[in-house]
Structure 1
Amino acid sequence: MSQEPAPATPEPTLKSVVEASAFLITLGSVWLYLAGWTYAYHYFDRFRIPLLMVELPLEHYFVYGFIVIRQHVGWVVTILLAALALVLLWSRLPASIRQHKIVLAAVFILIGFWLGHATGVSAAHAQFQRQRTNDYDAYPRIQVWRTAEAANNPNNAPSAEDLAKGCHRLLLYNQDRLFLFRPFGGAPAADLPSVILPWSEIASIRVLPDHTSCP
């Protein structure tokens, strides 16, 4: 008896290609957001600033995600090539493997997101270490003058005089708060005192063209 020919592998239709592309774009966007969020969380945590208090716009996390990719481009290219090879060779794999495609897809997705988290943490720590080694050269010094009411409050720290010296650095700001930190020249490994000031307590500021630390 002659054997029946194996059923031909169906050709991909335009609909299936579009659906697969949309799925991959969505998956890539989620991965980029996760990597960026992880990067931001761990980077600002090194300054002892909670990420929720920073209130970054959503699009900033995608920008941070691209920073993670840039710092770990080798890992990202390896993952993409492995995924591409799997897609191209999928029809040649034994049927016993292809019938578990949902489980395999879930495993690969989990591995990909775990790598996104790991690379985000690594990139954040590497960037902070670079800043610390280079005396935080990305952040300018800033002078801050408190309002009269805030300046006369003895419970406010640091003092109004200390803030006006211009030895603090401007980390970032948002609509409600100003985020500062105080590095010490010649002691890059010292703990960083961070200061979070509400705009309601600030009379004026001056950002200085100086990226070096006070003693």
Structure 2
Amino acid sequence: MTTSPLQIAVIPVTPLQQNCSLIWCTKTMRGAFVDPGGDLPTLRAAIAKTGVTIEKILITHGHIDHCGEAGVLADELGVPIEGPHEADRFWIARLDEDGRNYGIRGVPFEPTRWLVEGDEVTVGALTLAVRHCPGHTPGHVIFHHAPARIAMVGDVLFQGSIGRTDFPLGNHQDLIASIVTKLWPLGDDTVFIPGHGDPSDFGTERRHNMFVSDAALAA
């Protein structure tokens, strides 16, 4: 049995049950957290359990449940933060304010590297493509590992639903365009891990998602 070069452990964090993903390269056992929004003791336990060496933190967007404690964890581990797109600077700057509103710890940070459409990020020997997918937030990005047919899409798309666009700087038309022009071309058989809830694949959503199915968009 061939072991996949990419392994993922999904760890729900914060009272909002946001799906933080611990991803790692099976060849090197080096990994990254995608959207470590909080519950740092739980994330530390995941590191110990898997034996993965964390080399960076990846952020899809600036909402508190996705990155409220990312800066704290990066400082603790001595690793860089890559993402999101700089258009989400607005959200990261207000993490402390949002933290007070939600009762979640939020600490503003400056990413080591802002990401743009077409960038790549590395995790061990793996390379993930970056796609800029605005709509839920203006600076939202997703991470795609083509060989494993897996994408981490944050709050762009969910099983049976799509990201909210009623937050400041949200834009419904931009979100729909991001899904259709950035996600669907990755292939129907691509499995995605959303920011909340269960994984799905793009083909299933194109058939059944009442917001963005082919039939819904053609109506």
- Structure 1 or 2: more strand by fraction: 2
Normalised by the length of structure 2, the TM-score is 0.22
- Structure 1 or 2: more helix by fraction: 1
Normalised by the length of structure 1, the TM-score is 0.22
Query: Which has the larger Rg?
Result: 1
Q: Which structure would you say has the larger RCO, counting Cα contacts within 8 Å and 6 or more residues apart? A: 1
